[in-house]
Amino acid sequence: MSGADNQQERLDSYISGFVDGEGCFAVAVNRNPSCRSGYQLVPEFHVSQNGDRAQVLDVIRRRFDGCGYIKSNGRKDRALVYVVRRRDDLREHVIPFFERSPLLSSKQEDFEKFATIVRAMTLGHHRTSSGFARLLDEALSMNGGGRFRSVRWKEVISSDSESSETIRRT
């Protein structure tokens, strides 16, 4: 293995380990009146870090070919967060990276669910009532069931979705 290859492998391992501790793969459920069901799934990858160590977020962003953005988390602690939401960026940069450099903790299971959801959305599965329901179930099962999630989301969305066979953006 050449020196450059070894350096890249070491950087990728570092990033994977860093994300294992400070990152998250999540799929938010947002109200959106432009969607027929009134709701949408929003996949997001993010990594947090204290503002005085922001350079590590810059390194991660560069490794993902500059996709995503870094912003304040809005708290007084001055922490920053690197965020990737654009589905093409998730599919083309983030997901392949973590398939090559898998996480070592149980967060790997969340990543696998996340990758499945993003790929299914790329194929339009979220646009049918049954597909949306399946992806919603998968999303709600991530991150330990999500301490801020509510079973009510599923109930509300299910009752709204049953009135329409197809869920499309209007």
pLDDT of residue 154: 54
Domain ranges of the chain: 3-161
Mean pLDDT, the chain, as a whole number? 85
Nearest partner of 25 among 95, 154, 114, judged by Cα = 114
Positive or negative, the CA dihedral 67, 128, 107, 155 is positive
Say if residue 122's pLDDT is above 70.
yes
What SS3 class is residue 44?
strand
Say if residue 137's pLDDT is above 50.
yes
pLDDT of residue 169: 29
Let me know if 7 is exposed, middle or buried by CB neighbors in 10 A (0-12, 13-18, 19+).
Answer: exposed
pLDDT of residue 41: 94
pLDDT of residue 168: 30
DSSP letter, residue 164: -
CATH class of 3-161: alpha beta
Lowest-confidence segment of 65-69, 124-128, 135-139, 153-157 by average pLDDT: 153-157
Distance in angstroms (rounded) separating the CA atoms of residues 25 and 109: 10
Q: How many residues does the chain have?
A: 170
Taking CA atoms, 149 is separated from 1, 78, 81, 112, 141, in Å, by 46, 26, 21, 20, 10
